[in-house]
Amino acid sequence: NIKGFAFDLDGVIADTARFHGQAWHQTADEVGTVWTDELAENLKGISRMDSLELILNAGGYGQKYTTAQKETLATQKNDKYLELIKTLTPADILPGMKKFLDELKDQQYHLSVASASKNAPTILKQLKLTDYFDGIVDPATLHAGKPDPEIFVKAAEVMGLDPVNVAGLEDSSAGITSINSAGELSIGIGSQLNEAKIKFAVTDEVSLVAIKTQLIG
């Protein structure tokens, strides 16, 4: 009996990965790491500092920078990213997701956000979606990121619900693992999300009816 939905942000509500990619590409150029599509793909869903470590390690520069220098690089990336996301408008909500959120709201489901991004409040504001959600999990409070269940357990708490009454939507396999380990119903959007209980190829296909249809099998 699902009473609430916990939403990942990047790749589910909006495509912010292209802005993360643009900003990190600059960092990669600066430190000397070759930017590849594979590297860009591996940055999805992981935290800011873990992303930086991945970029440094990809070029073999893992040991070259001090903690203070890494913080400077991460801050520069975030400043660039904040500049880029200023252009976001409600037109950037991924196809079908506004309609799905309206459907959930109409039927009085609880909604929360489980994003690794510290910029989620800013992004939701740009998309004019802030009021849809009971709350947003603050990733700064987490002991471990996805695939750890913590973020989706907290997303249930935000809605005042037991995890068994929550469904989580994710586009990353680490996120699906997090949802499953939290004891929630996992809804995967995209390819290669085999562990997801319910699967959609694209955001446009997500609706309550489509979810129920897959549940009944």
Q: Does the footprint of Mg ion cover residue 51 (CB under 5 A)?
A: no
- Smallest distance from ligand G16 to CB 178, Å: 10
CB nearer to ligand G16: pick between 11 and 168:
11
Considering only residues 4 through 43, tell me which ones interact with ligand G16, judged by CB under 6 A: 8-11, 17, 20, 43
10 is catalytic: yes
Q: DSSP letters of 78-108? A: HHHHHHHHTT--GGGBPTTHHHHHHHHHHTT
- Smallest distance from Mg ion to CB 130, Å: 19
Q: Does the footprint of ligand G16 cover residue 125 (CB under 6 A)?
A: no
Q: Does the footprint of ligand G16 cover residue 184 (CB under 6 A)?
A: no
Of 64-72, 137-145, 165-173, 198-206, the segment contacting Mg ion by CB under 5 A is 165-173
Burial degree of 38 (CB within 10 A; 0-12, 13-18, 19+): exposed
Residue selected from 5, 6, 10, 179 as contacting Mg ion according to rule CB under 5 A: 10
Cα dist from 72 to 46, 52, 69, 79, 198, whole Å: 19, 11, 5, 11, 41
- Smallest distance from ligand G16 to CB 16, Å: 6
Torsion of CA 126, 127, 128, 130, to 10 degrees: -90
CB nearer to ligand G16: pick between 1 and 8:
8
Of 7-15, 66-74, 128-136, 138-146, the segment contacting Mg ion by CB under 5 A is 7-15
> What tokens were used for 7?
């939403």
CB 197 within 8 A of CB 185: yes
Nearest-Å Rg of the Cα atoms of the chain is 17
Residue selected from 4, 7, 8, 167 as contacting Mg ion according to rule CB under 5 A: 8
CA distance 153 to 143: 12
- Smallest distance from ligand G16 to CB 10, Å: 3
What residues line the site for ligand G16 (CB under 6 A)?
8-11, 17, 20, 43-48, 51, 78, 115-119
